[in-house]
Structure 1
Amino acid sequence: MTTPGNQQLPSFKKPPINEVVLGCQFEQLKEFKVTHFGDLWARLRKDFPKVEHAPPIASASGFLPEDQGTGLPWPRSWFINNTDSRLIQFQPDRFYYNWRKREKEQIYPRYPEIFSCFENYFKVFGKFVSENSLGPLKPTTWELTYTNQIPVGEVSSSKIEVFRDVHWMHDPNRFLPEPTNPAWAATFHLPNDAGVLVAKLITGKMPHEDTKIQILELAVRGPAKDRTETAMKEWFDLAREWIVRGFTDLTTNEAHGMWEREK
């Protein structure tokens, strides 16, 4: 493995990023009650005036966060801004901040701005936990995910090979025809047990369209060994570095030209 040292991170003028998610898993807030959803929204409502519910996310062991009184699972709440491009996801054991490409925010705002937003709202959330005596807030896992969408037609028309490691070996003597929806996944371990990078490539379609796309998801998850603000920032900076360098490593120089690589 090549050690980057002090090399600059790769950068692209037109990266195919569609969504970025920063988040935290923590020990379930046992004293959380349904009325607390309203208090949390009151603190976020100015920036996130819309609310939706979504199915809860299970833990790695398959458990859902449950109300201690009824044993029923808690829903996941989405607090969404007016442009539909930013949202906060919350359930009593998770907190996420999302940026996603939408019509009113097509340009990726870059990692420093998104991390700053996550950091700010995570502090708001921490104050909410403290003032409602729901804590102490005990993070267990940090998460950072980048999702890239690459139109298949755009690549096919230019005859560009995008991925270095994902190829179907053409051979007239093969029994199987070329796959129509190929998928690929790999896991890479970060140094010093800081976590793992999981890379997944699938084929899909644009929402509400017939445009076929390749979806490359790069997600880093790691333990929250040190819960200080400084340690949190260091972990997310490392995760971002692995995602950016990993994306560059998995894709070809031809594709980098298409995305207008700067560094």
Structure 2
Amino acid sequence: MARPAHLPDFKNPPLEEVVLGVQFSAIPGYMSVFSHEVWGLFQATHPKVSEHPMLSPNFESFGGGNPQPSLQFQMGPAPTGSRQWFSTIEGNDLIQFQADRFVANWRKQATSPEYPRFEGISRAFEENLRKLNEYASTRFGAPLAVNQAEISYINIIPVDDFSDATHWFKLWDNGEISIENLNINFDEVVKDENAKPFARLKHHIQSVFSTDGSRKAFRLSLTFIGKPNSSDINGAMNFVRMGRERIVTRFGVITTEKAQSSWERLS
């Protein structure tokens, strides 16, 4: 899969993490005792394993007065157990699995290989998702039924002063205000060709500090989340690819030319 020529491209982007994920109906009959079988699907490339609390089901809803995701009633027993993390030795690639969720994270690290680009990340994600789908179909007689999908790009932009926000983002006109901290959130509803909402593009800009407090940065997160137009793997991957285009395009819109020059924009 080639990179679309119309998307902004950078030699040195401030990208810190990319997250691809799907939520699906709980695999019928799956219990935590089977988690070692799931790990076996990915153990060759992701030999490190740990346990974490489960993520709650999350659905984007539209049309009501409250724009926040709504709680959903579920038919049958709720998924139980824990969320498994399978990671590479370097720790830069992470797979998260629970009975109704599959998530992959690429994380920038000083000792890890260079950013494999979306094409490499999405190819690995799809291959691993299809492995899980085959396992669910063979072991439990039911393929994955995807009901939500998401993709996030998380950027860390080092700054000398938070009042320099205007140098990086096209969100206000000047830098005359002395900013102590910054936290901006806004969502955009995305509609299909029939003007029916099916996803949101979520924006979050936050001022952050390094662990020792000596360095400042802006954390820019862009997330595309919603319901694919079909519940199979192809539908999920089409949604993720659409989200990537929306996110990268929006990144080029809300960041300044000066910022993009510092990241060595190529196209």
TM class by shorter chain equals 0.7 to 0.9
Superposed CA RMSD: 2.8
Shift of 1:57: 1.5
> What is residue 41 of structure 1 aligned with on the other side?
39
Aligned length: 248
**Partners of 2:26 and 2:79 within 8 A in 1:** no
Structure 1 unaligned segments of length 5 or more: list them.
1-5, 172-177
Shift of 1:194: 4.1
Alpha-carbon separation, structure 1, partners of 2:100 and 2:86: 16
Where 1:227 maps in the other structure, the secondary structure is coil
Alpha-carbon separation, structure 2, partners of 1:232 and 1:182: 34
The normalised TM-score by structure 1 is: 0.84
Alpha-carbon separation, structure 1, partners of 2:247 and 2:138: 36
Matched, 1:89 2:93: no
Task: Please show how residues 65-104 of structure 1 align to structure 2 within 5 Å.
Answer: 68=77, 73-104=80-111
Select which of 142, 155, 171 maps to 1:148.
Answer: 155
Please say which of residues 126-135 and 19-28 is displaced more in the overlay.
126-135
Where 2:238 maps in the other structure, the secondary structure is helix
The normalised TM-score by structure 2 is: 0.83
Shift of 1:107: 2.7
Taking every aligned residue pair, what percent have the same amino acid on both sides?
27
Alpha-carbon separation, structure 1, partners of 2:99 and 2:249: 33
Alpha-carbon separation, structure 2, partners of 1:72 and 1:241: 33
Alpha-carbon separation, structure 1, partners of 2:27 and 2:212: 37
> What is residue 127 of structure 2 aligned with on the other side?
120
Shift of 1:227: 3.2
**Partners of 2:28 and 2:140 within 8 A in 1:** no
Shift of 1:186: 1.1
Alpha-carbon separation, structure 2, partners of 1:255 and 1:179: 19
- Structure 1 counterpart of 2:55, which letter? I
**Partners of 1:87 and 1:97 within 8 A in 2:** yes
Distance verdict in 2 for CA 1:170–1:209, change over 3 Å: closer
Matched, 1:256 2:254: no
Q: Deviations over 1:126-159 (max 9, x none)?
A: 11211221633210011100000011239989x9
> What is residue 183 of structure 2 aligned with on the other side?
183
Structure 2 unaligned segments of length 5 or more: list them.
59-69
**Partners of 1:80 and 1:86 within 8 A in 2:** yes
> What is residue 240 of structure 1 aligned with on the other side?
244
Task: Please show how residues 94-243 of structure 1 align to structure 2 within 5 Å.
Answer: 94-105=101-112, 107-133=114-140, 135-153=142-160, 161-166=167-172, 170=176, 178-192=178-192, 193-207=197-211, 210-243=214-247
